[in-house]
């Protein structure tokens, strides 16, 4: 016997990892495929992220896609009611309300694709990504290449002494490091 689903089922996909690991590039790839499939897509970026563009999601390789700029997760919900696919970049810049917004969208039958850092520059879980990982149906963990030794990198090392949790930047402030080189860098900073 074959079970036939007669209603549209939504879900949450999370693409996570360190900086320079291809998270945004993967989000853009999935969004482009949804557009090719003629699905109604809404793509969002946080207003705080103005590194490469005011109104585009831009990968570190300069792949660009237009996006709606929002300050809160509630804005994402309100602007996604007609969408079939919702994409959210730099999710770590939203507060924990993003989790309930994504849950509500998925419960409405929408595919929700989220990209964001899973760890901060101290190597600690970076909310709300851990909570999103817990409720996601699909998880993709991306890795960069350690700039010191060439091994797979899972950490984002901050090259400055600034202690703010959120500090917007790119290669001038951050680099990808493996576990061992990240720990060596912490020892250098703390000594």
Residue with token string 């300050």: 71
Whole-angstrom distance, CA of residue 177 vs CA of residue 183: 9
Coil, helix or strand at residue 114: strand
Count other C-beta atoms under 10 Å from residue 142's C-beta: 20
The two tokens of residue 100 are: 């309930």
* Unique residue bearing structure tokens 């036939």: 4
Rounded to an integer, what distance in angstroms lies between the CA atom of residue 103 and that of residue 111?
A: 10
Q: How many residues are present in the chain? A: 191
Do 98 and 88 meet the contact criterion of CB atoms below 8 Å apart? Answer: yes
Active site residue 90: yes
Q: Looking at 13, 26, 90, 175, which residue is catalytic? A: 90
H or E element that contains 25: helix 23-36
Active site residues: 90
């Amino acid at each position: 016997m074959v079970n036939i689903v007669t209603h549209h089922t939504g879900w949450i996909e999370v693409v996570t990892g360190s900086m320079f690991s291809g998270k945004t590039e993967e989000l853009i790839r999935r969004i482009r495929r949804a557009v090719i499939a003629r699905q109604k897509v809404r793509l969002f970026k946080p207003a705080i992220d103005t590194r490469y563009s005011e109104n585009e999601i831009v990968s570190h390789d300069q792949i660009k896609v237009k996006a709606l700029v929002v300050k809160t997760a509630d804005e994402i919900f309100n602007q996604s009611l007609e969408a079939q696919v919702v994409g959210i970049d730099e999710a770590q810049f939203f507060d924990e309300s993003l989790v309930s917004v994504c849950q509500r969208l998925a419960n409405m039958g929408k595919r929700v694709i989220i990209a964001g850092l899973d760890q901060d520059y101290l190597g600690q879980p970076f909310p709300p990504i851990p909570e999103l990982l817990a409720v996601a149906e699909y998880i993709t963990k991306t890795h960069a290449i350690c700039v010191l030794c060439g091994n797979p990198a899972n950490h984002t090392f901050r090259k400055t002494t600034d202690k703010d949790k959120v500090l917007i930047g790119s290669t001038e402030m951050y680099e990808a490091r493996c576990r061992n080189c990240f720990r060596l860098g912490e020892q250098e900073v703390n000594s």
